[in-house]
Amino acid sequence: MIRFILSRAVQGMIVIVAVISITYTLMYLSPGSPFASEREMPENVRESLNRIYGLDQPLRVQLWRNVKSFATFDLPVSYRLKGWNSGDIIAQAAPVSFTVGGMAFLIAVALGIPAGALAALRAGKFVDRATMAAATLGVCLPSLVLGPLIALLFGMKMKWFNVAGWYDSDDWVLPAVTLGLISAAAVARLTRGGLRETLAADHIRTARAKGLDEKTIIARHAFRLACLPLINYLGPLAAGLLSGAFVTETVFQLPGLGRHFISSAVHKDFTVAMTLAALFAALIVIFNLLVDILQAWLNPRIRLTEK
Amino acid sequence: MTWITRLIIIAALVAGVWGFDALRKTRPERVKLADENGVLLVGIGTDIETLDPHIATGQPEHFVIVSLFEGLVAPGVNDPDANEPGVALSWESQDQVTWRFKLRPEAKWSDGTPITSHDFLYAWQRILSPELASKYGEMLHLLKGAAAFNKGETKDFSTVGVKAPDDHTLEIVLEGPAPYFPGMLKHYTWFPVPRQTIEKFGGMTKRDTEWARPGNLVCNGPFTLKDWRINHFIAVKKNAHYWDAARCALREIHFFPIDNYESEERSFLDGQLHITYTVPLAKVPLYRQTKPPFFKQSLEMTCEFYRCNTTRAPFNDKRVRNALSLAVDRVALLDQVIRSGHRPATGLTPPGAHPDYPPLEKVRFDPKEAKRLLTEAGFPDGKGFRKIDILTNTSPNARTVAEFFQESWRKHLGIEVSIRQMDWQVYLDAQHRLDYDVARAGWVGDYTDPFTFLGIFRSFDGNNDTGWKNPRYDELMLASTREPDVSKRLALMRQGEEMLLDEMPMIPVFWRMNSSLERPEVRNWKHSMISHRCYKAVSLGPYQPLMPKP
């Protein structure tokens, strides 16, 4: 177990270094300059800026400098937000995204799993159809549509919450509900699918034949297995939710990570883009590891070995 | 479950929702609390990148920086476009070349140190130092010898035309007569910076230090920096050391960078903002129709135009460029498509640039003449004219205008046009590299004078971006900067603009109208054509509902 975790940690680090390097190279190759502005600047200023930030050096020197700064946790300064290093920027935005993303994750799980399970157990009945229709709608509705709708209904019309902003202690609610509902839809569909498949499996039939009561069968035998595809999905979902959601953050004006993802790419802010990519990669690595451990625990057929 | 338990559950749910609703509905609006505490909540569009006046380049930065810093000259209390004494008590000039500024002795930094003329010397040396690589150093090239120092041709700052004979006097020599000079001093590039703080954080020419962050920033304006959260808000509070602190009625201002204009509008209607940065473009026509009292429009000194890449055929032919301009019905575009109150441009320089410089009436819609010119240029009915691209940024409005141009040129000239939308940095870069056919562009005046628009089309100007070079035009512009007589100067610029519109390296489209939403309790919020703001004059009355009771 410990060997497994260690070897995955080493793999994870290699992945993160690769992600940083690829991000930097892509940014380097993409057109535009991080220093371009509507008012043209003199050539000597452009040259000085490139020299100050080391952008005049060959790509491999630039890459090495950045990988080194990440390895030593001495994060590089942002090209756009002058006087802030990319670590400061992430440190300001991460708590916001973690709160909203974490709550959205809880909503998705708390809503999606019971709904999916209910649908599976009442397969073909009205409850199933209604839940799945709602879930399909949820999967199809982009946050760009759902977000403003929720803001209009619970913010503007009902006056329950602020339509946007990050000031009051309850400002996480509407964005978390938006993200949570959308994810809950996918969770519900996966739970339903997994549970229906498991309920038709041989060992469940055996359990029924043994005369176990239906509640025990579902809770102890079926649900554990039915969770496997769901857990595979929940790992990346958690990483995705925690690292921020651009559209939801824009609609609700949250100072989270998602907006930095887009603005760093649009403004060619190499360093912030790299730091975010590294953070996202780290989250994915961590959650995938958690998923593997959870799966091994839930399904005895999976063993944590490296060979 | 019996029907009784079900009923109880449903009743409990309904009661819960009702109670929650009653509890939440009565929450006070954020503006109401802000009104009581003297806090102004303002939208500023996109987020700021820095608060260092020598590194900043954008408009949102301008909105915040002018609350924190003050130059020699300050925006007027009743008209922000007027010039009133700031750090300078008075100024005089006989020939508009040599200027003498008397500084007020009571002016202080927010840490209590007095401001002297040496602080201005330090600041101007800093922004002009090539090592700092300030993008806007060029704004100071009006100072004699500043360009040479800025380009690193000399290391001796005493060659630049500014002297401090004593602690409270500045003597300034310019390259040529500039009657608009005091107005220019309201731009943040000319503001003083706190030597004591900057030296503590790595020295005069070190970039990216933390001197302009909360806790470190020392300033001299009506407010000081309280907090700054990225993508969130910037809070400033009243500066007790400000020389005119008695006038300053607000206790705090909170600036909100909300780049999604629909979200900004929702925040305003929800009582979270006093003043918005703008209004979503799609909503402006509706507001113009229903005219709610909180909807405000004001003239902006901005021109939207289309650049022609004159280094590429067929745009190297002025007949083609003129044909393109004549084939667009700007009145129809603005009245039927954009409907935001913008005015069709009849020249480049918008109205208001100078009281004695009314806009030229040269740009018009004449499809017949357009067709004739195109035929004369060798493309009868657009035959043989290659397919061209319009380069725009990704804003929906830019796309709408581009589509109108596409349709007009297809319909009146028989030219096939495609639209190429690019992300902001790439779009700017493509224009600077002259990698386009026709490109959408806009220019905001820096000071109220036609030169702020006409100057950019000089052949050597970095913002020309059309490849158009005309020695006669350069001569006229140069002559205008050396002419001390105002009416002669304006006549020279007029001659230049006539020439520019005859050659048409850029096709003027419209002069922008600024729209915003403002709460009724905000007092003395004055509009400026070039975004000047006098925050110390603004105050908040008692809370009022957005719509007056019928």
User: What is the structure's pLDDT at B58?
Assistant: 84
Could you tell me the two tokens for B419? 């639209």
Could you tell me the two tokens for A129? 């159809």
DSSP states of B462-524: TT--S----HHHHHHHHHHHH--SHHHHHHHHHHHHHHHHHH-SEEEEEEEEEEEEB-TTEES
Q: Who among A83, A155, A263 is closest to B209 (CB)?
A: A83
Best A27, A30, A41 residue to mutate vs chain B (most B CBs within 10 Å): A41
Rounded to two decimals, what is the model's pTM? 0.89
Interface membership of B37 toward A (CB under 8 Å)? no
Residue type, A96: V
Best B231, B254, B391 residue to mutate vs chain A (most A CBs within 10 Å): B231
B150-154, B189-193, B278-282: least confidently modelled range = B278-282
- Among the listed residues B61, B97, B399, the one whose alpha carbon sits nearest the alpha carbon of residue A83: B61
A81-85, B142-146, B159-163, B381-385: least confidently modelled range = A81-85
Could you tell me the two tokens for B392? 């725009």
CB contact under 8 A, A266 and B424: yes
Tell which phi-psi region holds residue B414, choosing left (phi > 0), alpha (psi between -120 and 50) or beta: left
User: What is the structure's pLDDT at A41?
Assistant: 80
DSSP states of A195-262: HHHHHTSHHHHHHHHHT--HHHIIIIIIHHHHHHHHHHHHHHHHHHHHT--HHHHHHTT--SHHHHHH
Q: Who among B207, B209, B269 is closest to A52 (CB)?
A: B207
User: What is the structure's pLDDT at B374?
Assistant: 95
User: What is the structure's pLDDT at A93?
Assistant: 93
Chain B contact set for A44 (CB, 8 A):
130, 151-152
Q: Indicate the SS3 state at residue B55.
A: coil
Q: What is the Cα–Cα distance from A36 to A101, expressed in whole angstroms?
A: 34
Which tens digit of pLDDT belongs to each residue from B343-378? Answer: 999 999 999 899 999 999 999 999 999 999 999 999
Cα A219–chain centre separation: 29
* Phi, psi (degrees; rounded to nearest 5) at B461: -70, 135
Q: Indicate the SS3 state at residue B305.
A: strand
CB B228 within 8 A of CB B213: yes
Which tens digit of pLDDT belongs to each residue from B369-410? Answer: 999 999 999 999 999 999 999 999 988 788 999 999 999 999
Neighbours of B33 (CB within 10 A): 12
Chain B contact set for A252 (CB, 8 A):
263
Strands B539-540 and B522-523: antiparallel
* Phi, psi (degrees; rounded to nearest 5) at B269: -65, -25
Which tens digit of pLDDT belongs to each residue from B311-320? Answer: 998 999 999 9
User: What is the structure's pLDDT at A305?
Assistant: 60
Average pLDDT (B74-97) is 94
Q: Indicate the SS3 state at residue B544.
A: coil
Residue type, A212: L
Q: Indicate the SS3 state at residue B125.
A: helix
Question: Where do runs of H (alpha helix) occur along B26-94?
Answer: 30-37, 59-68
Could you tell me the two tokens for A67? 């990988």
B169: pLDDT confidence band, cut at 50, 70 and 90?
very high
Residue type, A131: T
User: What is the structure's pLDDT at B1?
Assistant: 66
Q: How many residues does chain B have?
A: 550
Distance (Å) from the C-alpha of residue B375 to the closest C-alpha of chain A?
A: 35
> How many inter-chain contacts (A to B, CB under 8 Å) are there?
147
Chain B contact set for A251 (CB, 8 A):
260, 263
Beta bridge partner(s), residue B298 = B514
Chain B residue nearest residue A162, CA to CA: B270
Preceding omega of B314 cis (within 30 degrees of 0): yes
Angstrom CA distances, B502 to B232, B317, B459, B473, B498, stand at 47, 12, 16, 12, 6
CB B51 within 8 A of CB B61: yes
Looking at every residue in chain B, the average pLDDT score rounds to 93
Chain A contact set for B274 (CB, 8 A):
none
DSSP states of B338-407: I-SS-EE-SSSSPTTS-TT-PPP------HHHHHHHHHHTT-GGGTTPPPEEEEE-S-HHHHHHHHHHHH
User: What is the structure's pLDDT at A307?
Assistant: 42
Q: Indicate the SS3 state at residue A45.
A: helix
- Among the listed residues B462, B419, B420, B459, the one whose alpha carbon sits nearest the alpha carbon of residue B443: B462
Q: How many residues does chain A have?
A: 307
Average pLDDT (B10-32) is 90
Unique residue bearing structure tokens 């596409």? B406
User: What is the structure's pLDDT at A36?
Assistant: 77
User: What is the structure's pLDDT at A304?
Assistant: 64
CB contact under 8 A, B429 and A36: yes
User: What is the structure's pLDDT at B448?
Assistant: 86
DSSP states of A266-305: HTT-HHHHHHHHHHHHHHHHHHHHHHHHHHHHH-TT----
Best A77, A159, A262 residue to mutate vs chain B (most B CBs within 10 Å): A159
Residue type, A83: G
Chain A contact set for B267 (CB, 8 A):
163-165, 253
Distance (Å) from the C-alpha of residue A148 to the closest C-alpha of chain B?
A: 9
User: What is the structure's pLDDT at A42?
Assistant: 83
Distance (Å) from the C-alpha of residue B235 to the closest C-alpha of chain A?
A: 13
Residue type, B453: F
Q: Indicate the SS3 state at residue A38.
A: coil
Q: What is the Cα–Cα distance from B91 to B73, expressed in whole angstroms?
A: 9
CB B44 within 8 A of CB B228: no
- DSSP label at residue B253: E
Query: pLDDT in tens for each of the 307 residues of chain A?
Result: 788 889 888 999 999 999 999 999 999 998 878 887 777 788 888 889 999 888 899 999 999 998 898 888 888 889 888 889 899 999 999 999 999 999 999 999 999 999 999 999 888 889 899 999 999 888 888 888 999 999 989 988 888 998 888 988 889 999 999 999 999 999 999 999 999 988 888 888 888 888 888 888 888 888 888 888 899 999 999 999 998 888 999 889 899 999 999 888 888 898 999 999 999 999 999 999 999 888 888 877 776 664 4
CB A271 within 8 A of CB A183: no
Q: What is the Cα–Cα distance from B467 to B331, expressed in whole angstroms?
A: 29
CB A137 within 8 A of CB A130: no
Angstrom CA distances, B58 to A32, A285, B116, stand at 18, 39, 28
Best B129, B131, B188, B230 residue to mutate vs chain A (most A CBs within 10 Å): B230
Chain B contact set for A82 (CB, 8 A):
49-50, 52, 55, 207-208, 212
User: What is the structure's pLDDT at A224?
Assistant: 82
Interface membership of B361 toward A (CB under 8 Å)? no
CB contact under 8 A, A49 and B231: no
Could you tell me the two tokens for B227? 């907090």
- Among the listed residues B182, B201, B216, the one whose alpha carbon sits nearest the alpha carbon of residue B111: B216
Chain A contact set for B188 (CB, 8 A):
none
CB contact under 8 A, B135 and A82: no
pLDDT over 90 at B48, yes or no: yes
Which tens digit of pLDDT belongs to each residue from B425-471? Answer: 789 889 989 999 999 999 988 888 999 999 999 998 888 999 999 99
Based on the number of CB atoms within 10 Å of its own CB, is A161 exposed (0-12), middle (13-18) or buried (19 or more)? buried
Angstrom CA distances, B425 to A25, A33, B231, B465, stand at 18, 7, 19, 15
CB B461 within 8 A of CB B443: no
Average pLDDT (B290-302) is 93
Chain B residue nearest residue A167, CA to CA: B232
Q: What is the Cα–Cα distance from B223 to B228, expressed in whole angstroms?
A: 14
pLDDT over 70 at B228, yes or no: yes
Angle at A9 between CA A7 and CA A15, to 5 degrees: 105
Buried b (16+ CB within 10 A) or exposed e, A98-110: bbbbebbbebbbe
CB contact under 8 A, A156 and B269: yes
Chain B contact set for A160 (CB, 8 A):
20-21, 24-25
Chain A contact set for B212 (CB, 8 A):
82-83
Q: What is the Cα–Cα distance from B138 to A44, expressed in whole angstroms?
A: 11
Interface membership of B269 toward A (CB under 8 Å)? yes
CB contact under 8 A, B432 and A36: yes
CB contact under 8 A, A259 and B231: yes
CB B297 within 8 A of CB B513: yes
Best A26, A29, A37 residue to mutate vs chain B (most B CBs within 10 Å): A37
Distance (Å) from the C-alpha of residue B322 to the closest C-alpha of chain A?
A: 25
Q: Who among B24, B442, B461 is closest to A160 (CB)?
A: B24
Neighbours of B184 (CB within 10 A): 21
Q: Who among B47, B133, B426 is closest to A32 (CB)?
A: B426
Q: Who among A31, A36, A163 is closest to B266 (CB)?
A: A163
User: What is the structure's pLDDT at B538?
Assistant: 97
Q: What is the Cα–Cα distance from A210 to B150, expressed in whole angstroms?
A: 90
CB contact under 8 A, B269 and A84: no
Interface membership of B18 toward A (CB under 8 Å)? no
CB A52 within 8 A of CB B131: no
Interface membership of B302 toward A (CB under 8 Å)? no
CB contact under 8 A, B30 and A34: no
Best B18, B136, B266 residue to mutate vs chain A (most A CBs within 10 Å): B266
Chain A contact set for B442 (CB, 8 A):
38
Which tens digit of pLDDT belongs to each residue from A184-214? Answer: 999 999 999 999 988 888 888 888 888 888 8
ipTM attached to this prediction? 0.86
